[in-house]
């Protein structure tokens, strides 16, 4: 291996030569306490910077073995070292001037979440540290400035290594706090499963963020305080006793007025799938690591996803068991997002009403009456959520502000009031029950009105018996009241019992003393306190005088009392959910979505070199094909998007053979990354910085959005997309 003296000599020889002369510096050099690797040299000063790495053996870095003994500890320490070296690099970056990227010293820039990255790797067995960074080799125009590079490699970089990667030179308390925080966060994650919780939000947590473009905590924000009924207390290994809100598995609805913190709470829960750094405010907001944010995504590509659990009978008889489209609607995209989350083994669905397709989430009763169910291809999510929770163990946490239908299905209802949560489950259930009862009663009243009106207007002869001998009628009623009432009406107008309030009084019909005929309709019908006539209350639009002549006030009162007595004897149905949509649950064998999509390799991946571009965390392009990741809201770093693109290339070339399912492929990728390192998936002639590990949920979701994805038919033939 070459020494640092050899590197100095090379730099002396290439000074002021053409920029490609820098290629001769590529190689490894011993620098006493560490090894410097110049892995890649940029082609010119305006190109992507050169890739450099340093290797610091365990005997030199001195970090205790217990700091790397567990994966969560190792990743937390790696993240800390990236942040420390990053600050040191910022201080000396661009101190050397020149063209293009001359003088750049660049390290990964982590956000508030702690992720496993290729920038820093601690070998769990040996304790050796490999740290990767990018450097802009300096130039004047396109002429080598070797002595400036010497300053960067022999002064700036050694200082970063000494002050950032040697344990004795670091703040010991800072390192210990990071390791202890990682232990406490892992303890809480393990506790979620034991306590049947989806999430935990600690008292004192700061949930609001500084701004829409900053993920730092908001100053002077209202700290989170758990409702007493949802409060749990745990004893953490290092932090000690901690109290907060435990969200149980099932269906949890977050409600409240606008700007009171519904989406803020949901956003914190959404990001709780990651561990956070100290002083973030959400260090102890811990969510089931498989939780997936679901939203509508108009225009996304869908490849062979089975959305039949939610959507069937589309016009043109399109196959929703193997659904393809290049331009999904809001409802079909959200249905696909749910199914693909299930495919990725998500145990919790996180949904915000504001970003959902309304017709996918719920259909109110009036819409069901106007558009009958056999004409509507969508079975809304509200009709499946209960089954998903009870039979498949898939919980839902939903922020809503307009649809109270969810109160009938929710296990827990949390109201956000000026950023303070309140448990209003009992109040919401009582309100929902009262509302359902009132609605049933009003429906019954309306039905009675229609029946009586029909009897009067369409079958007046059948009612003439009511004007007969009152004594005879009384005797008949005493023997069999129900039979008497039914006898008063023709069979097709027999009233069915229903729940209602007291039936409105029937209109009295004054008579003219001279001709014994009823006076005109307009003169006889009195108004109630609200200005509505009694006739209006029972649905009578027009009554002919000759039809009313056979009725008298006593007879009508006796008939309406019979109806009211029967109605009040009906016991209200305790199953309030019957008021809502009650689609039959899907059969577990045929109704549950098909989760065995088997992708085939694409021809575009056969070439040796593929050009991959990353647009932040919003999208990546492979060749000319752009994959949109904008709506994968739990992606928190552009380096995760870069890793998904690299995984897609690896999977297309090595795993997508029409035999392995999407789930199998993602599982294999996760295993390779854990046991062989992310570098194995990235490929290339050297190890790269700038990649971060995504979750399996985002990996599968990213693959599913790749518009060139092709699927294998179950009988071995390639599916023919119906786009």
Given a contact cutoff of 8 angstroms between Cβ atoms, the answer to whether 351 and 397 are in contact is yes
Sign of torsion over alpha carbons 218, 219, 221, 223: positive
pLDDT band per the 50, 70, 90 thresholds, residue 577: very low
pLDDT band per the 50, 70, 90 thresholds, residue 461: low
Q: What is the pLDDT of residue 587?
A: 43
Given a contact cutoff of 8 angstroms between Cβ atoms, the answer to whether 24 and 32 are in contact is no
What is the rounded distance in angstroms from the CA atom of residue 399 to the CA atom of residue 261? 10
pLDDT band per the 50, 70, 90 thresholds, residue 557: low
Q: What is the pLDDT of residue 376?
A: 80
Token pair recorded at residue 682: 């990235």
The 3 state secondary structure assigned to 19-58 is HHHHHHHCEEEECCCCEEEEEECCCCCCCCCEEEEEEECH
pLDDT tens per residue across span 148-186: 999 999 999 999 999 999 999 999 999 999 999 999 999
> Does residue 275 have a pLDDT over 90?
yes
Which region among 523-527, 620-624, 644-648 has the lowest average model confidence (pLDDT)?
Answer: 523-527
Burial of 54 (0-12, 13-18, 19+ CB in 10 A): buried
Q: Output the average pLDDT for the chain.
A: 85
Q: What is the mean pLDDT of residues 490-510?
A: 42
pLDDT band per the 50, 70, 90 thresholds, residue 505: very low
Burial of 336 (0-12, 13-18, 19+ CB in 10 A): buried
If DSSP codes are grouped into helix, strand and coil, which group holds residue 574?
coil
Q: What is the pLDDT of residue 277?
A: 98
What is the rounded distance in angstroms from the CA atom of residue 353 to the CA atom of residue 356? 5
Distance of CA 641 to the CA centre of its chain: 18
Given a contact cutoff of 8 angstroms between Cβ atoms, the answer to whether 196 and 248 are in contact is yes
> Does residue 545 have a pLDDT over 50?
no
Alpha-carbon distances, residue 7 vs 4, 32, 123 (angstroms): 5, 14, 27
> Does residue 536 have a pLDDT over 60?
no
Given a contact cutoff of 8 angstroms between Cβ atoms, the answer to whether 345 and 290 are in contact is yes
pLDDT tens per residue across span 381-415: 999 999 999 999 999 999 999 889 999 999 999 99
More confident residue, 317 or 230: 230
Query: Which one, of 271, 333, 269, 286, lies nearest residue 701 by Cα?
Result: 333
How would you classify residue 706: left for phi > 0, otherwise alpha for psi between -120 and 50, otherwise beta?
Answer: beta
Burial of 531 (0-12, 13-18, 19+ CB in 10 A): exposed
Q: What is the pLDDT of residue 558?
A: 57
Query: Which one, of 215, 292, 121, lies nearest residue 691 by Cα?
Result: 121
Which region among 422-436, 541-555, 664-678 has the lowest average model confidence (pLDDT)?
Answer: 541-555
> Does residue 525 have a pLDDT over 60?
no
The count of C-alpha atoms lying within 13 angstroms of the C-alpha of 28, restricted to the half-sphere facing its C-beta, is 9
Q: What is the pLDDT of residue 586?
A: 42
Strands 395-399 and 412-417: unpaired
pLDDT tens per residue across span 245-259: 999 999 999 999 999
Q: What is the pLDDT of residue 522?
A: 42
Distance between the two ends of the chain, CA-based, in angstroms? 58
> Does residue 119 have a pLDDT over 90?
yes
Query: Which one, of 32, 76, 72, lies nearest residue 56 by Cα?
Result: 32
Token pair recorded at residue 213: 């473009």
If DSSP codes are grouped into helix, strand and coil, which group holds residue 363?
coil
Q: What is the CA radius of gyration of the chain?
A: 36
Given a contact cutoff of 8 angstroms between Cβ atoms, the answer to whether 505 and 561 are in contact is no
**CB-based contacts of 308, cutoff 8 Å, min separation 6:** 320, 321, 591, 593
Given a contact cutoff of 8 angstroms between Cβ atoms, the answer to whether 45 and 101 are in contact is yes
The interaxial angle of helices 172-194 and 71-92, nearest 10 deg, is: 140
Longest Cα–Cα distance of the chain, Å, equals 132
Given a contact cutoff of 8 angstroms between Cβ atoms, the answer to whether 331 and 360 are in contact is yes
List the alpha helices (DSSP H) in 55-135. Answer: 58-61, 71-92
If DSSP codes are grouped into helix, strand and coil, which group holds residue 336?
helix
Strand order from edge to edge, sheet including 625-628: 612-615, 619-622, 625-628
Query: Which one, of 389, 433, 407, 405, lies nearest residue 580 by Cα?
Result: 405
What is the rounded distance in angstroms from the CA atom of residue 75 to the CA atom of residue 422? 36
Q: What is the pLDDT of residue 574?
A: 39
Token pair recorded at residue 117: 């990255």
Alpha-carbon dihedral angle through residues 656, 660, 662, 663, given to the nearest 10 degrees? -140
Query: Which one, of 76, 196, 113, lies nearest residue 634 by Cα?
Result: 113
Given a contact cutoff of 8 angstroms between Cβ atoms, the answer to whether 53 and 67 are in contact is no
Q: What is the mean pLDDT of residues 68-81?
A: 97
Query: Which one, of 466, 457, 462, lies nearest residue 490 by Cα?
Result: 462
Residue with tokens 């200005």: 531
pLDDT band per the 50, 70, 90 thresholds, residue 205: very high
What is the rounded distance in angstroms from the CA atom of residue 49 to the CA atom of residue 24? 16
> Does residue 637 have a pLDDT over 90?
yes
If DSSP codes are grouped into helix, strand and coil, which group holds residue 210?
strand
Q: What is the pLDDT of residue 61?
A: 97
> Does residue 483 have a pLDDT over 90?
no
What is the rounded distance in angstroms from the CA atom of residue 675 to the CA atom of residue 116? 13
Q: What is the pLDDT of residue 480?
A: 54
> Does residue 311 have a pLDDT over 60?
yes
Q: What is the pLDDT of residue 438?
A: 85
> Does residue 498 have a pLDDT over 50?
no
What is the rounded distance in angstroms from the CA atom of residue 391 to the CA atom of residue 89? 53
**CB-based contacts of 535, cutoff 8 Å, min separation 6:** 507, 521, 525, 541, 543
Burial of 206 (0-12, 13-18, 19+ CB in 10 A): buried
Q: What is the mean pLDDT of residues 267-278?
A: 98
Q: What is the pLDDT of residue 567?
A: 47
DSSP run (H or E) holding 386: helix 385-392
pLDDT band per the 50, 70, 90 thresholds, residue 555: low
Which region among 353-367, 492-506, 597-611, 665-679 has the lowest average model confidence (pLDDT)?
Answer: 492-506
Q: What is the pLDDT of residue 602?
A: 87
If DSSP codes are grouped into helix, strand and coil, which group holds residue 634?
coil
Which region among 61-65, 287-291, 420-424, 473-477 has the lowest average model confidence (pLDDT)?
Answer: 473-477
Given a contact cutoff of 8 angstroms between Cβ atoms, the answer to whether 149 and 138 are in contact is yes
Residue with tokens 């786009």: 723
Which region among 261-275, 519-533, 708-722 has the lowest average model confidence (pLDDT)?
Answer: 519-533
Distance of CA 670 to the CA centre of its chain: 22
Which region among 514-523, 611-620, 695-704 has the lowest average model confidence (pLDDT)?
Answer: 514-523
Sign of torsion over alpha carbons 338, 341, 343, 347: negative
Output the DSSP codes for 222-277.
PPP---GGGEEEEEETTTEEEEEEEEESSEEEEE-STTSSHHHHHHHHHHTTS-B-
Sign of torsion over alpha carbons 598, 603, 605, 610: negative
């Amino acid at each position: 291996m070459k020494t640092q003296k050899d590197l100095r000599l090379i730099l002396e020889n290439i000074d002021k030569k053409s920029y490609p002369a820098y290629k001769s510096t590529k190689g490894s050099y011993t620098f006493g306490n560490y090894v410097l690797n110049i892995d890649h040299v940029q082609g010119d000063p305006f190109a992507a910077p050169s890739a450099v790495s340093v290797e610091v053996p365990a005997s030199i870095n001195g970090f205790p073995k217990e700091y790397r003994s567990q994966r969560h500890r190792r990743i937390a320490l790696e993240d800390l070292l990236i942040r420390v070296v990053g600050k040191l690099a910022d201080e000396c970056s661009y101190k050397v001037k020149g063209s293009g990227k001359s003088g750049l010293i660049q390290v990964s820039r982590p956000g508030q979440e702690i992720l496993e990255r290729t920038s820093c790797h601690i070998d769990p067995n040996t304790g050796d540290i490999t740290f990767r960074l990018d450097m802009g080799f300096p130039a004047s125009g396109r002429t080598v400035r070797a002595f400036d590079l010497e300053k960067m490699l022999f002064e700036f970089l050694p200082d970063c290594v000494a002050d950032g990667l040697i344990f004795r030179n670091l703040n010991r308390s800072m390192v210990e706090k990071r390791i202890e925080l990682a232990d406490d966060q892992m303890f809480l994650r393990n506790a979620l499963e034991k306590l049947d919780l989806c999430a935990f939000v600690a008292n004192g947590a700061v949930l609001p963020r500084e701004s829409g473009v900053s993920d730092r905590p908001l100053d002077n924000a209202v700290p989170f305080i758990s409702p007493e009924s949802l409060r749990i207390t745990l004893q953490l290994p290092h932090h000690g006793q901690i109290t907060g809100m435990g969200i149980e598995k099932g269906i949890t609805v977050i409600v409240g007025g606008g700007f009171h913190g519904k989406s803020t709470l949901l956003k914190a829960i959404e990001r709780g799938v990651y561990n956070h750094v100290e002083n973030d405010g959400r260090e102890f907001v811990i969510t089931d690591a498989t939780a997936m944010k679901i939203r509508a995504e108009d225009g996304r590509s869908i490849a062979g996803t089975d959305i039949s659990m939610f959507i069937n009978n589309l016009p043109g008889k399109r196959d929703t068991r193997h659904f393809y489209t290049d331009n999904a609607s809001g409802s079909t995209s959200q249905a696909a997002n749910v199914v693909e989350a299930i495919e990725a083994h998500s145990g919790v669905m996180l949904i915000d009403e504001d970003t959902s397709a309304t017709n996918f989430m719920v259909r109110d009763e009036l819409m069901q009456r106007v558009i009958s169910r056999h004409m509507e291809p969508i079975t809304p999510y509200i009709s499946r959520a209960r089954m998903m929770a009870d039979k498949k163990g898939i919980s839902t946490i939903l922020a809503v502000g307009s649809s109270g239908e969810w109160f009938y299905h929710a296990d827990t209802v949390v109201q956000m009031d000026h950023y303070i949560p309140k448990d209003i489950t009992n109040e919401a259930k009582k309100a929902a029950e009262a509302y359902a009862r009132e609605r049933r009663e009003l429906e019954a009243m309306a039905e009675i009105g229609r029946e009586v009106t029909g009897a009067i207007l369409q079958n007046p002869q059948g009612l003439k018996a009511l004007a007969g001998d009152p004594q005879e009628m009384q005797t008949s009623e005493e023997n069999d009241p129900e039979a008497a009432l039914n006898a008063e009406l023709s069979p097709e107008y027999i009233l069915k019992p229903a729940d209602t309030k007291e039936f409105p009084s029937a209109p009295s019909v004054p008579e003219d003393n001279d001709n014994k005929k009823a006076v005109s309709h307009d003169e006889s019908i009195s108004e109630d306190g609200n200005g509505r006539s009694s006739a209006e209350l029972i649905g009578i639009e027009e009554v002919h005088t000759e039809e009313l002549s056979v009725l008298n006030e006593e007879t009508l009162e006796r008939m309406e009392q019979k109806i009211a007595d029967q109605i009040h004897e009906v016991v209200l149905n305790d199953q309030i959910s019957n008021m809502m949509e009650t689609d039959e649950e899907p059969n577990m064998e045929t109704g549950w979505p098909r989760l065995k999509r088997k992708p085939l390799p694409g021809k575009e991946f056969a070439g040796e070199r593929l050009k991959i571009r990353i647009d932040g965390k919003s999208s990546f392009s492979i060749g000319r094909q752009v994959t949109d990741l904008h709506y994968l809201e739990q992606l928190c770093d552009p380096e995760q998007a870069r890793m998904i693109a690299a995984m897609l290339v690896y999977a297309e070339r090595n795993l997508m053979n029409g035999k392995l399912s999407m789930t199998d492929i993602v599982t294999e990728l996760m295993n390779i990354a854990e046991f062989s390192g992310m570098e194995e998936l990235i490929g290339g002639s050297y190890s790269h910085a700038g990649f971060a590990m995504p979750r399996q949920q985002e990996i599968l979701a990213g693959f599913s959005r790749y518009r060139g994805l092709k699927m294998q038919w179950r009988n071995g033939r390639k599916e023919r997309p119906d786009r």
